[in-house]
Each structure stands twice: as C-alpha cells, then as structure tokens.
Amino acid sequence: MFDVHFFPLPFTLFTLLFFSGCTLGPDYKKPDSAEPKYFLAPGSTNRIEQLVQWWQKLNDPVLSDLVSAGLTNNLTIQTGLQRVRQSRAQMAQAKAGLWPSLTGAANYNYGRKFGSPAGVGYSATGSGIVGEWGGTFAAGFDATWELDIFGGTRREIEAREAELAGMHYTQRDVNISVAAEIAMAYLNVRMFQSIIEVTQSNLVTQTQSAEITRKRHQAKAVSGLDLANAEALVLSTTAQIPSLQSGLANGILQLELLLGEVPNARKAQLVSSATFPELPAALPSMLPNELLRRRPDVRKAEEAVKAATARIGVAETELYPRFALIGSLGASFPTTGLDRWSILTESVRVGPRISWNIFSAGRIRAQIEERKALAEQAVLAYQQTVLKAYNEAESAWQSYNQEAVRGDTLQKAVEANQRAVRIAGGLFKAGSTDYTEVLIAQRSLLLAQDTQMRHRALLAQKVVTFYKALGGGEE
C-alpha cells in the first residue's frame, strides 16, 4: 500500500518569489555624535600605529616580557575568550534557522490483539482472545523548512553578528585594561625599588655622620644632643626600609596575579634588575578623530546600536504570516507472518504551512515600540561613550602635562638639597655649626629624593593612562 498526499504549492511558491529579499525593519545608520575633527591642543599629528603595542615604545624589555605574558595567561582574558566563543556559538544557532530541519524516528511494537473479529471464533476457555503474538516496525522522517519571507531570521542573524563583534571589542577592551594594569603594577614595583635605593644610600650617609658625631662627642667637641639627633635620624631612616620592602613585595605579588602566575614566580627577575622605562619627551598635542573611533568601547557601543536596530525588524515580522514547507515520509510493516511484506504501509506528505498571529491584543505592536525605545537608548549610550572617550583622553593629556611641569623643579630641589648636605657636613666637621643643620639638610634631601622617585613613577603611569584612553594596545 503506497499512499502519497500532495498539497497545493503554487501559493507558497508565488509568495516566496514575490517576497524574496524582503527584510522588514530599519537598516542600520551610523548615529550622529558631537565630535571635533581634531582634539586636544594644536600641534603635531600622531599616527595610529604609534599606539599599537605602546609598551614597546618605552624600551624596557622586562616590561614588554611581562605584558606579553599577561596577555596570554591572565585569567580575566581567558574568561573573555570563552565568552567570545559562546557568542560565536549563539550566532551559529541563529544562522541554522535559514536551513531546513530533518528529524527521524523509529519504533517497534510487539503484542497481540484482543476481541472477536468476524470469522474468528472464541477460544475454548471463552476468554475472547484471538490472534497470534506479533510485532510491527515503523520508521519515518519529518522535515520542516520555515521560509524567511520577511527577513526575521536574517535580522536576528544581523543582530547576533553585531553582538559577536561587540564581544570581540569587549575582549580587546579587557586586553587594553590588563596591559595597562600590568604596566601600572610594574611601575609601582620600580618606584619602590628606587625609593629603597635612595633611602639606603641616605642611610649610609647618615650613619657616617652619626659615627663622626659620636667620635666628636667622645672628644667633648659636641653635645650629647647632637649625638642623640644623629642616632635618631639613623634609626628613623632604618625604620622606613621594612615598610618600603613590604610595599615592594606586595607590588610583585599584585603583578604576578595579573600575569596569572603563582606568588614569587617573577621575584627573581624583578629583583635582579631595577631599570626604569624611558618616558617620551612629550605627548602628542593634536590627535586625529579616528584614534578615539578605534577605542573598543566606542566600537562596542556602535555594534550595540546595530543589534538593537536589527531587532526592531525581528519584532515587526510578528505582524505578518509565517510560511513553512513541511513533509513527512514513513513506512510500517509487521515483522511476523508470511505475508508481512505484502501489507507494507508507506506514506509521503508534502505541503505548505501558514501561521499568523491574527489577534494579539496589541502585544506585538507594543513589543515593536519597546524595541524602538531600546534602539534609541543604544544610540544615546553610543553618544555618551564617544563623549566619555574625548573626556578621558583630554583629561589624561592635561594630567600628564601638569605632572611633567613638576619634573624640572623636583630635580633642582634634589640638587639644592645635595649641596646643602655637603655644606652642612663641611661646616659641622669644621666645628662652625652644630648637628641641627646637618640633620635638617639630610632629612630634606631624603624627602626630596623620595618625592622625585614617586613623581617619576606617577608621570610614567600617566603616560600609560594616556595610551589607554586612546585605546592603545594590540590590533
């Protein structure tokens, strides 16, 4: 027995041809935003390539090695990569909606019939059981192909592609942040090393002065107050070193955490050298717009507008009918009896299916309005992100330049304090002054050198902040 049912297809085929390429909803247009052609102050231009792997421009091999390791091993970055993988799988699911789906099924039943059909007598016991034990095997396939007449699936794919692109930009933003955090932590380590070095150097000088004072006190040349002041200064400076070393150790641990490494994995490498990165003579004073257009957060916000715009079209397709081609192929036959092949049952069905939300009490139109509102919110978020990018870049530039002004003054202050220490020491040895002048000069020198080391690290960190504000990092 072979049974085939064909349903009329002309209407479905005509509709498919007529609406082929029809996609509902607005197409994406880049949103407007207030922005100048150039930003910062008038001056020289800067090429985008200068921001790629900006840490290489600081000519510090140790820093370059640390950033490279961090971009590979940092656990936050690894988590972000898995989110990108997840988003890519979601987009693949959306694309699968453009293709037919085919499912297969099979079953087997074994038993016998009950009753007294015509021509068959009751059993001797009168139980009414007739027929023999037997089995039936059935198998078939069902196919469904929902035709994307009005572009709902295509709009959903468009939205998912924008979300995937946004996820890539999010990952780039994470990379930029991690590189900047590693550089900041590295500079903090170098700052503590520099301060420890100048503190120990001053401690040597103070110890020598205290020893001279002790000898002069023994010779009744100075008072016990001078000796007490000299010893107090040595002890005070000595007490600072453990605190500084603790700060150094914590800085190394923080850096290792950013690298995704166990504690003390980098201690030997960092302690064996104490080089400081080379800072640029000056930051660029005029930068083209496209630099900030490259920022991952700006690009992510733009992709969010794309996704929100596409989902308006997804919602609008709910107002229109859905068309699908469905088909089934099946066969069943008994597995017992000599004539089992003669009673084979087969069926084939092919035809269109139409579904339409004829009445939804305004739910669909309300959903469309909701999607439009979400798209407007995405546009406003994009404009806010652009303004934030300009604000951060301008602020970083201004902050660096204000800090840089202090550099020459601090250097002159250190040189002046060094002269004061030499003069006060000479006068004290000659007996022309008491130890108070030496004490003041040595304390002032240590303070000036400490301030200078902190300024140098802070200035370098502001350079990192500036590169980060421009979206500098790996392409």
Whether the Cβ atoms of residue 170 and residue 368 lie closer than 8 Å to each other: no
Average pLDDT over residues 113-121: 52
pLDDT digits (tens, 9 = 90+) for 18-51: 445 577 878 888 887 666 555 554 444 445 556 6
pLDDT of residue 41: 47
When comparing pLDDT for 50 and 269, which is higher? 269
pLDDT of residue 196: 94
Residue 153 has pLDDT above 70, yes or no: yes
pLDDT of residue 409: 92
User: DSSP 3-state helix, strand, coil percentages of the chain (rounded to 5)?
Assistant: 60, 15, 25
Run of H or E residues at 39: strand 38-40
Of 121-130, 242-251, 362-371, the range with the highest mean pLDDT is: 242-251
Average pLDDT over residues 290-313: 88
pLDDT of residue 121: 46
* pLDDT band for position 123 (cuts 50, 70, 90): very low
pLDDT digits (tens, 9 = 90+) for 356-402: 888 776 888 999 999 999 999 999 999 899 888 888 888 888 888 88
Of 64-73, 82-91, 110-119, the range with the highest mean pLDDT is: 64-73
* pLDDT band for position 124 (cuts 50, 70, 90): very low
Q: Both ends of the chain: CA-CA distance in Å?
A: 66
Average pLDDT over residues 92-121: 69
- Helices of type H across 219-295: 224-258, 267-271, 290-293
Nearest CA among 67, 65, 300 for reference residue 176? 67
Average pLDDT over residues 279-293: 69
When comparing pLDDT for 241 and 140, which is higher? 241
- Please give the C-alpha separations between residue 195 and each of 278, 347, 456, in angstroms, as whole numbers: 18, 88, 11
When comparing pLDDT for 113 and 13, which is higher? 113
Nearest CA among 320, 329, 6, 364 for reference residue 147? 320
CATH topology of domain 16-100+149-320+366-469: Outer membrane efflux proteins (OEP) (1.20.1600)
Going by their DSSP bridges, the two strands 345-355 and 2-6 should be labelled as parallel
pLDDT digits (tens, 9 = 90+) for 430-447: 888 888 899 999 999 999
For a pLDDT cut of 90, what percent of the chain falls above it? Answer: 31
- Parse the chain into domains and list their residue ranges: 16-100+149-320+366-469
When comparing pLDDT for 238 and 290, which is higher? 238
